[in-house]
Amino acid sequence: MTRLSPSEADREIKNIVIGRVGAPHGVRGEARVVPMTDFPERFEGMSDVLIDDKSVGIEHVRYHNDKIIIKFKGCDSRDDAQKLTGKMLSVPRSEAMPLNEGEYYTFDIIGLLVFDDNGEYLGKVVNVLETGSNDVYVARDDNGSETLIPALKSVVKEINLKDSRMVVSMPEVIE
């Protein structure tokens, strides 16, 4: 993925967070991991992960309830595992799980410039709200005004990551 324009460079994501290390599990250096990914199965078969931007080997992974138990290489005691508590696990952006056509990662949406179907600038996406039924993109203009954009195919007409822009057709507001 090549990014050339300054606005795209600002959005470039080097690593993506996939989990957070929780409390130690047992006395042999295993740690509970809270998955922060829509693809928790990705931990199966992983040989390493990034912690503080350093590659750390994984000896084994197993599942326990809604947590993942990981034994990291060089982490051989409860005290070793305790030192990792609260650390974020990440992988390089190049290892992001593939998505279906028309699906996007939140970090790819944040930073897009939003225009209506008449070409009027509505702002830059600064947040994505997960509402349950559909996401809502929060676009903020240069004056600080925010526009809430439902992430629906009937509203979002185009997402162009290469040009860092989104085109929307906002529904009429009835007062």
In sequence order, what are the residues at sequence separation of 6 or more whose Cβ sits closer than 8 angstroms to the Cβ of residue 40? 68
In sequence order, what are the residues at sequence separation of 6 or more whose Cβ sits closer than 8 angstroms to the Cβ of residue 127? 110, 137, 138
Task: Please choose, from the candidates 153, 159, 160, 157, the residue with its C-alpha nearest in 3D space to the C-alpha of residue 168.
Answer: 157
CATH code of domain 15-95: 2.40.30.60
The reported pLDDT for the residue numbered 100 is: 87
Distances (CA, A) of 134 to 112, 123, 130, 150: 18, 20, 7, 7
Q: Where are the domains of the chain?
A: 15-95, 106-168
Query: Tokens 């503080």 correspond to what residue?
Result: 52
The reported pLDDT for the residue numbered 7 is: 40
CATH class of 106-168: mainly beta
- Dig out the tokens for 26 from the structure: 């047992």
- Tell if the pTM clears 0.75, that is, is over it: no
Alpha carbon distance 140, 54 (integer Å): 35
In sequence order, what are the residues at sequence separation of 6 or more whose Cβ sits closer than 8 angstroms to the Cβ of residue 143? none
Quick one: 170 exposed, middle or buried, by C-beta within 10 A (0-12, 13-18, 19+)? middle
Q: Are 15-95 and 106-168 in the same CATH fold?
A: no
The reported pLDDT for the residue numbered 6 is: 37
Q: Residue 27 gets which letter from DSSP?
A: T
The reported pLDDT for the residue numbered 119 is: 93
Residues of the chain with pLDDT under 70: 1-13, 173-175
